A and B are shown apart, each in its own frame.
Chain A
Amino acid sequence: DTAVSQTPKYLVTQMGNDKSIKCEQNLGHDTMYWYKQDSKKFLKIMFSYNNKELIINETVPNRFSPKSPDKAHLNLHINSLELGDSAVYFCASYSWDTQYFGPGTRLTVL
């Protein structure tokens, strides 16, 4: 049983395209996050959602739009992709001091 899953695992696309990454958790948690890990391997928080509502947006460009159709899902849509968006994106869910991370989506923008 995969607690936090992401699709796709790999995403290769051209600059200017629009793409989405999906995240689902089956842990029943209310809180979910998106993190970005760049080429230097630093993990940075992007968004925090609680019960389908945006709680934190860490100054992410508005080309990035998270959407939470229900509390088990937090999808990330990216418009007008740029070269600098190439990274690994991790979804996580959170409950009582522990975060559970998905396997990551490696996005490559050409």
Chain B
Amino acid sequence: DAKTTQPPSMDCAEGRAANLPCNHSTISGNEYVYWYRQIHSQGPQYIIHGLKNNETNEMASLIITEDRKSSTLILPHATLRDTAVYYCIVRVGGGNNAGNMLTFGGGTRLMVKP
């Protein structure tokens, strides 16, 4: 699986958009970008994933650059409850493969401030 690089921490004002960057310059053509978050004392939570097109769901948007070497997770209107560690993970996706476990890095600790 390709390695990812994320800033260790970021701050965001409540109500503003939170833009979390991720570099994955060694990503392969069949690898997807996944985002999970872990709120304090809870298990990780799936947010979104994509291959090369931008994706949006009820939680966030994922913008992937054309060369796929980096991506940005966007929380459009951050709330205090979005304070968490956000993990960007790159791995082969698709299907229902039992070998598709996740390799977590250090993530970005997002602090949403009032």
Contact = CB atoms under 8 A, between A and B. Distances in A.
B106 interface: yes
Contact of B104 (A42, A55, A97): A42
A92 to B, nearest CB: 7
A101 B32 CA distance: 20
Interface of A: 4, 30-31, 33, 41-45, 48-50, 55-56, 90, 92, 94-104
Contacts, number: 63
B54 interface: no
Given A31-B100, A92-B44, A96-B96, 4 more contacts: A41-B106, A42-B106, A56-B101, A101-B45
B103 interface: yes
A104 B41 CA distance: 8
B45 A45 contact: no
B99 A48 contact: yes
A55 B99 contact: yes
